[in-house]
Amino acid sequence: MPTVISHPLVQHHLTRLRDGDTAPTEFRARLRALGRLLTYEAIRAVPTQQRTIDTPLEAMDAPHLSQRFTVVPILRAGLALADGALDMLPDAVVGHVGLARNETTLEPETYYENLPATVADTHVLLVDPMLATGGSAVAAATLLKKHGVTRMTLVAVLGAPEGVGAFEGTHADVPVVLGGLDRELSDKGYILPGLGDAGDRAFGTLG
């Protein structure tokens, strides 16, 4: 089962994304804010290790993150969400996967792949605003595993039961963190009630 974040700030940002009157500038800013908040939750269970540091007054053993991270947005809508993740993890490296949905078959088609050589040695945050049919997320996670990734978390703003089921049915070992879980998909594969096409709304390409 996915982890759905019920924090009031997450829900407030999500409501503004849902509002059809929200302009692209605000839409991108809200996605970035959700990227920060969802990343905070996504790495909650990541282990830390102690190391000795010198404060201005004395030495102490202090915790630090014991894993390196790679943020991988699914292009293009995942870019704004990735910016928020990088705000929280500024030392992370970034990979990119381009997957476009064929509007007839609803299946993902890969058009771009650029991953760091170190990706298999890191914890990957796979980020995409929408987990609708699940096709793109399944394909991206499969691609990452082919590159040797064994630690991965999927972070999405909004999901549908169909997409969650498809992803967990294929990648049951990958945790899923969502800002919201909606009712269902439309016959065209859009989340209902949803927020429309996240990429078009973020980058002002509607119509």
Task: Kindly list the catalytic residues.
Answer: 101, 105, 197, 200
Number of DSSP helices (H) and strands (E) in the chain, helices first: 6, 13
Are the C-beta atoms of 133 and 185 separated by less than 8 Å?
A: yes
Are the C-beta atoms of 55 and 77 separated by less than 8 Å?
A: no
> Crossing angle for the helix pair 135-146 and 161-170, nearest 10 degrees?
20
Hey, what are 107's tokens? Answer: 């299946």
* 197 contacts: CB under 8 Å, gap ≥ 6: 77, 190, 206
Strands 69-75 and 96-101: parallel
Place of tokens 């909606």: 182
Residue 73: CB atoms within 10 A of its CB come to 27
Are the C-beta atoms of 103 and 74 separated by less than 8 Å?
A: no
